[in-house]
Amino acid sequence: MKSADAYRTISEVSEDVGVPQHVLRFWETKFAQVKPMKRGGGRRYYRRQDVDLIRAINRLLYTDGLTIKGVQKLLRERGVKAVSEGSAEIVPTSSEPVLGADANAEPVQPAEAQDANGPQDAALSAPLVDLAALKGIRDRLATALQAARP
């Protein structure tokens, strides 16, 4: 077993995180913060910090339901360390009701519709749905799928 601080190859990271190698390569193009060392022949070597960040990106995308743009924004606003450690709080930005959401819940006020680069594209400024409501829907679907299995 390798030490926690040992460099990892792309195949080791892929297996450890549960993400295909081509996805890790794609994430390198979308997240400038993912920068494995490259040695002769272009072979990638990931440091522990890289693997921690990849795990966080994986969780944010596939468990928490953020988009790539959402994770990029979180990394920009909160920093790599906060995202990697899981201490970057995800604040829903929706004020619109969501199918299956609690009708008595307090609406969440939308965040400002522009960032440091100025106003966002109209399609991007549409409010995101409440993350908690999406998680509830996901959980109900998982339960229904489990019940439907023979």
Mean pLDDT of 122-130: 50
Does 95 have pLDDT greater than 80?
no
Q: Do 58 and 17 touch, CB atoms closer than 8 A?
A: yes
pLDDT digits (tens, 9 = 90+) for 12-56: 999 999 999 999 999 999 999 999 999 888 899 999 999 999 999
Choice between 133 and 53, residue whose per-residue pLDDT is larger: 53
Does 123 have pLDDT greater than 70?
no
Mean pLDDT of 136-145: 84
Question: What global pTM score does this model have?
Answer: 0.58
Of the pLDDT bands very low, low, confident and very high (cuts 50, 70, 90), residue 89 is: low
Which residues lie closer than 8 Å to 10 by C-beta, 6 or more apart? Answer: 21, 24, 25, 36, 44, 46
Buried b (16+ CB within 10 A) or exposed e, 94-131: beeebeebeeeeeebeeeeeeeeeeeeeeeeeeebbbb
Q: What is the CA radius of gyration of the chain?
A: 18
Which residues lie closer than 8 Å to 20 by C-beta, 6 or more apart? Answer: 14
CA pair distance 20, 25, nearest whole angstrom = 9
pLDDT of residue 69: 92
- Report how far Cα 31 is from the mean position of its chain's Cα atoms: 11
Residue 143 sits at φ, ψ, to 5 deg, of -65, -45
Average pLDDT, the chain: 76
Mean pLDDT of 140-150: 83
The tokens for 13 are 């990271």
CA distances from 9 to 3, 24, 44, 85 (A): 14, 11, 6, 22
Mean pLDDT of 109-133: 50
Does 122 have pLDDT greater than 70?
no
**What is the torsional sign of CA 14, 138, 123, 69?**
negative
pLDDT of residue 40: 84
Of the pLDDT bands very low, low, confident and very high (cuts 50, 70, 90), residue 83 is: confident
